[in-house]
Amino acid sequence: MDGNLRRIKVLAMIKGSDRALSASFLAKELGVSRQVIVGDVALLRAEGTEVIATARGYILDNIAKKNQYTRKIACQHTSEQTIEELYLLVDLGVCVDDVVIEHEVYGELTGYLGIESRADADLFIKKLEVSQSRLLSELTMGIHLHTVTCRNKEHFDEVMSAMEKAGYLVNGK
């Protein structure tokens, strides 16, 4: 199958799913390598398709955000506290969409996460360990933003209260 047809199929598969699809899954379904899928998604993005790469796979931006209340939380904590922070958020029923830092050279850097459960959080931490990568927040002394998706404003207020109580907010706010 030629590249254009494959990219049409990749996009159709992502559009047709209500959950993130991994590059490995897409590659197996289409009989190509994972790297071919990564390239296809890069080309789809270059054409203007808003595909988000999360720790669990690809999802369309509009599907990830539909019918939800999305806000940012300013956080600060140690690297060792990351898993507890993520567990706190997902245990409260929040999706941690991304992590954002302000880098002194590159400006705003965003890492898409899509973490909705403890299993997702565990997978994220495992991928960090296996790849020997560092958290973005390590570049900013633990200061970072999370975009979170909640049910509504009241739910968000509950999340903020829990984050404040746990001491994960910048300056305790």
> Which helix (H) or strand (E) covers residue 60, if one does?
strand 57-60
CB-based contact 57:20 (threshold 8 Å)? yes
Q: At what angle do helices 23-30 and 3-15 cross, to 10 degrees?
A: 130
**Domain termination site, one of 14, 35, 63:** 63
Name the residue among 32, 30, 18, 31 with its Cα closest to residue 114.
18
Name the residue among 35, 149, 39 with its Cα closest to residue 92.
149
Are residues 104 and 53 part of one domain? Answer: no
Are residues 121 and 152 part of one domain? Answer: yes
First to last CA, the chain: 54
Q: Please report the pLDDT score of residue 173 as a whole number.
A: 47
Are residues 87 and 11 part of one domain? Answer: no
Are residues 88 and 57 part of one domain? Answer: no
d(CA 143, CA 141): 6
CB-based contact 120:90 (threshold 8 Å)? yes
CB-based contact 12:30 (threshold 8 Å)? no
**Domain termination site, one of 63, 86, 108:** 63
What CATH number is attached to the domain comprising 144?
3.30.1340.20
Per-residue pLDDT of the chain (173 residues; tens, 9 = 90+): 788 899 999 999 998 887 789 999 999 999 999 999 999 999 998 888 888 887 778 888 765 555 578 899 999 999 999 999 999 999 999 999 999 999 889 999 999 898 999 999 999 999 999 999 999 999 899 999 999 999 889 999 999 999 999 999 997 54
For the chain, the domain total comes to 2
Q: Which residues span the domain enclosing 28?
A: 3-63
* pTM exceeding the 0.85 threshold for the entire prediction: no
Are residues 127 and 79 part of one domain? Answer: yes
Are residues 103 and 49 part of one domain? Answer: no
Q: Please report the pLDDT score of residue 20 as a whole number.
A: 83
Are residues 149 and 165 part of one domain? Answer: yes
What CATH number is attached to the domain comprising 39?
1.10.10.10
Are residues 74 and 44 part of one domain? Answer: no
